[in-house]
Structure 1
């Protein structure tokens, strides 16, 4: 009864398409469900799905990371290729370069390093840049803006790709008592 109650969508329609299915054992139902709905992908298709998977602005890095690792488990790749493909799935070139500079030797180091980093949302960045052009009178003035988070020129703190810094701490190392 629990299995029948948990079925949704096409699986539920499949179950009720035949009046005798509800009387079958759980093992038989599971076998038939697998035969009916299992999608087998070739190794090439699995590799393509792995390589195409990118980190999206609306998700945390950890979600992207775990999904990429699960896809890698299906195709059995080596550690170095996994690390390179995780980095390649980061859409921001500056973050990709930063990940390469770190020379991570295992995937978990990558996860720890990017756990607090957020990608800018495309709509917000476009809206922000157009509104700042309107306020400042042109795109050239954007170069004079300073980020309150990292102290870099050309963007606002809400567009900053670096982890949020404690107010009053150093822009480079995060310690109190000095500034870069």
Structure 2
């Protein structure tokens, strides 16, 4: 039993590096809104990784989205410590012990201010539900008729599904058009 615990601890330490053995088990709370379509409301948890030409980072996350209002908690937070992001269209705030409070108009601007990284955060709202954001997106479907690849907004998203009957993707691989920035989002739970 002790050897199993030691092995588990060593495995956790070796796999997670800077992130640590913590995970976020629940998404933060935002009151549901019956006026917002169910496709625009979700609670997900998982892990996000970002790779740029200059650096890499990852974090565990809990994300609640209700229309244009969202709350995201990050642990291991992409090099900026435990982090809380709250906002709605035009008003986004990031708070962490390392950066203090940072405000921006968009999640993308906020991420860039905090880390210097670029990622299509606004597009992710649709992509985690397996949908394109715009009608001009280039979309490829899988054998089940689900969106498997979406190209729009300067990014290519590859959506992976747990099995043939899964309605929503459980992993997204994102690459910008210049192929310099990569984001991997794994969804471990969804409500």
TM-score range, shorter chain: under 0.3
Structure 1 or 2, whichever has the larger Rg, is: 1
Tell me the TM-score normalized by structure 2: 0.23
Structure that is richer in strand per residue:
2
Q: Which has the higher contact order (CA 8 A, sep 6+)?
A: 2
Tell me the TM-score normalized by structure 1: 0.24
Structure that is richer in helix per residue:
1
